[in-house]
Structure 1
Amino acid sequence: MSIRSNRKEEHLDLAKKFYQDEKPNSFDKMHLVRPALPETKVDLEAIKTTMFGKKIAAPFFINAMTGGSHRSYLINKELGRIANKTNIALALGSASILTKEPNLLDSFLIARQQDPDGALIANVNAKTSAEQAEKIVTELEADALQIHLNVVQEIAMPEGDRDFYWLDNLKKLRQKVTVPIIIKEVGFGLDRKTIRSLKNEGFKLYDVAGSGGTNFAQIENARNTNNVSYLNKIGLPTVISSLMAAKEQVKFTVSGGVRNPLDVFKGLCLGGKFVGISNVFLQALIQHDADYLQNLIEEWQYELACLLAIYGQNDLSSLTKIDKYYDLSLKNIIEQLL
């Protein structure tokens, strides 16, 4: 097994080790006001939407996880099958490994083979060449491409990059890649200045990926003999990063610490077009089995429809109008940064 593939395996083990199903985060400090008389009913049709021109059953999806090793082949096989059965979108883990080890393509391609008509999102790092990224998109028949910005992870990673002059390459990617591009953080949150800068360069879609869920500094520190554990505590909370994206009036996905359907609903109320879930679904699969994960996703779809009814909504179009308030500690951050 190559060093890169071994790192993928280690990430899976450490994501399981550090997983907390009820880890406190910024969603706990955000509250919504519901009408006692909602005049609604539970309707699964109300949560249906489209992603990149494809109809999906719900506005939440399986966000970037893995690929590039034997175990990730098996995981992506099941994720692809489940995405097909539940009709939700699937984003694959970083495929940048294919630029060095093209023989690992099957560990990503298996997801598309299991879900030939579903919404599928590829993922690469910010230094992947435009030609290589377009090749990956074509090979995977991806409907969109996430480009992840993972500076903190790279610093904590013992073999990580130390050169973060990425903007020029991002421009080349935008010009070359023929599917929509999503700029994505990896659990430390997109800040407003970065969103504004990229917006000015023509980037239109973002995944805020705030802090509160999987912590890749913590994961890399567990692999690093020169531990930089103080990096575990930096990052923008998901709610704050989402509010920043909303202020910049860009289309964005909310992810980072989504634990349950109420978090999904709050993400939509913050203005997210979609909500991404990674480790909750990953652990449901590897700690239980594929049937458990499929049932969980179907339960979330039903419970999200219930939440729309509770809050007096008949569709997804007006969720940002629901009144919201914040605990003082979060409100203080909002007042300082926004």
Structure 2
Amino acid sequence: MSQRSQRKKDHIDLANKYYLPHPDADFSGINLIRPALPESKISSDSIKTTFFHKIASAPFFIEAMTGGSDESYEINRRLAFCAKEENIAMALGSASILEKEPEQLKSFVIAREINPTGILLANINPLTKPKVAEQIIKELQADALQIHLNAVQEAAMTEGDRDFYWLDNILEIQQLINVPLIIKEVGMGLDPFSVKKLAKLGINYFDVGGMGGTNFVHIENQRTANKDNLFLDDLGLSTVKSLLSNLQEISHVNFIASGGINSSINIFKSLVLGAKYVGIANHFLHLSMQDKNGTALISEIQKLKYQLIILMALFGINKLDDVKKVKYYLSLELTNFLNQI
């Protein structure tokens, strides 16, 4: 097994080992005001959405996690099966490994083979050559491309990149590809200043990837037993703080909420704050590793859908476009944060 494939395996194993059943992404600071007279009814149609020109049964999806190893082949097979059964979107983990190890393609393309007409997002790092990015999209028949920004993780990784000059290459990729481009953080949150810069350059989709879920600095520390990187643990914004600060400043782009989301109420709160879609990663990974036929994960997806449908009705919302009308108030901590940011 190559060093890259071993790293992919390590990330899966450690993410599952340190799974947080009760993550803290600041959602407790969002207090929803429920109308006693909702004037609505429970309907599965209320949570259906268009996801990159395809219909999905819900606005949440299987977030980018894995690919590039034998173990990830099996995990992506299970995830793709569940995505197909429940008609939700799925994002693959970083396929940048294919630039050096094209033989690992099978661990990614299995998702498209299992779900040939489903919604599939490819994922690469910001230094991937534009032509390689274009080829990955073609091979996977991807509906959109995520470029993940993970400077803190790379800094914590012994073998990580030390070149963070990414913008020019991102723009070259943007000009070359013919599918939507999503800029995604990886557990440290997107700040509004970077989003503004990228939005001015024509990028319309941003996945905040906030703090509160999987901590890749912690994972890298466990991989190498190097505690010197602990000073990097806190260099980010929670999912809620990233959403609030961005949506206060920028209204003409689309935001995806991810990072420490594993419940229907936090999916709903993300939508109330203005997210268009919600990504769930480690929670789904943890469930997918409990059984090979996907029963646990399918059951969880169905439960989240059912609970989200109930929440929509209780708050008097009949379609997803209206979720942002729900009234809420913030904790003192979040209020102070917004005043300062």
TM range (shorter): over 0.9
Match of 1:242 in 2: 243
Match of 1:325 in 2: 329
Bigger shift: residues 231-240 or 99-108 = 231-240
Match of 2:277 in 1: 274
Against the structure 1 CA distance between its residues 36 and 288, is the aligned structure 2 distance closer, same or farther, given a 3 Å change threshold? farther
TM-score calculated relative to the size of structure 2: 0.97
Once the two structures are superposed, the pairs formed by residues 16-31 of structure 1 within 5 Å of their partners are 16-31=16-31
Deviations 1:110-168 (Å, cap 9, x if unpaired)? Answer: 00111100110000000001100000000000000000000000000110011100011
TM-score calculated relative to the size of structure 1: 0.98
Q: Contact (CA 8 Å) 2:23, 2:261: kept in 1 or not?
A: no
Q: Contact (CA 8 Å) 1:66, 1:93: kept in 2 or not?
A: yes
Once the two structures are superposed, the pairs formed by residues 222-241 of structure 1 within 5 Å of their partners are 222-227=222-227, 228-241=229-242
Match of 1:104 in 2: 104
Separation in structure 2 between the aligned mates of residue 225 and residue 278 of structure 1, nearest angstrom: 24
Counterpart secondary structure, 2:310: helix
Deviations 1:284-328 (Å, cap 9, x if unpaired)? Answer: 111345111011101111111011011111111111121111111
Separation in structure 2 between the aligned mates of residue 119 and residue 321 of structure 1, nearest angstrom: 28
1:300 pairs with 2:315? no
Match of 2:201 in 1: 201
- What RMSD over aligned residues (CA atoms) do the two structures have, in Å? 1.0
Code of the residue aligned with 2:241 in structure 1: it is I
Match of 1:115 in 2: 115
Code of the residue aligned with 1:325 in structure 2: it is Y
Separation in structure 1 between the aligned mates of residue 160 and residue 186 of structure 2, nearest angstrom: 15
Deviations 1:217-272 (Å, cap 9, x if unpaired)? Answer: 11111123443112112210111111233221121101111010111001111111
Counterpart secondary structure, 1:218: helix
Q: Contact (CA 8 Å) 1:156, 1:224: kept in 2 or not?
A: no
Match of 2:265 in 1: 262
Q: Contact (CA 8 Å) 2:245, 2:338: kept in 1 or not?
A: no
Match of 2:212 in 1: 212
Match of 1:6 in 2: 6
Code of the residue aligned with 1:108 in structure 2: it is F
Code of the residue aligned with 1:234 in structure 2: it is L
Separation in structure 2 between the aligned mates of residue 142 and residue 80 of structure 1, nearest angstrom: 13
Counterpart secondary structure, 2:183: strand
Separation in structure 1 between the aligned mates of residue 226 and residue 86 of structure 2, nearest angstrom: 43
1:184 pairs with 2:162? no
Separation in structure 1 between the aligned mates of residue 70 and residue 335 of structure 2, nearest angstrom: 45
Code of the residue aligned with 1:49 in structure 2: it is T
Code of the residue aligned with 1:332 in structure 2: it is N
Separation in structure 1 between the aligned mates of residue 222 and residue 319 of structure 2, nearest angstrom: 44
Bigger shift: residues 32-41 or 118-127 = 32-41
Query: Runs of 4+ in structure 1 displaced over 3 angstroms?
Result: none
Aligned residue pairs: how many? 337
Q: Contact (CA 8 Å) 2:25, 2:210: kept in 1 or not?
A: no
Code of the residue aligned with 1:82 in structure 2: it is C
Separation in structure 1 between the aligned mates of residue 328 and residue 298 of structure 2, nearest angstrom: 31
Q: Contact (CA 8 Å) 2:25, 2:259: kept in 1 or not?
A: no
Give ranges in structure 2 of 5+ residues lacking alignment.
none
Q: Contact (CA 8 Å) 1:158, 1:223: kept in 2 or not?
A: no
Separation in structure 2 between the aligned mates of residue 269 and residue 327 of structure 1, nearest angstrom: 16
Q: Contact (CA 8 Å) 1:66, 1:76: kept in 2 or not?
A: yes
Separation in structure 2 between the aligned mates of residue 176 and residue 64 of structure 1, nearest angstrom: 22
The CA deviation at 1:331 is 1.8
Separation in structure 2 between the aligned mates of residue 306 and residue 329 of structure 1, nearest angstrom: 29
Separation in structure 1 between the aligned mates of residue 332 and residue 291 of structure 2, nearest angstrom: 38
Bigger shift: residues 248-257 or 144-153 = 248-257
Separation in structure 2 between the aligned mates of residue 79 and residue 25 of structure 1, nearest angstrom: 24
Separation in structure 1 between the aligned mates of residue 171 and residue 23 of structure 2, nearest angstrom: 37
The CA deviation at 1:40 is 1.4
Code of the residue aligned with 2:16 in structure 1: it is K
Separation in structure 1 between the aligned mates of residue 25 and residue 50 of structure 2, nearest angstrom: 29
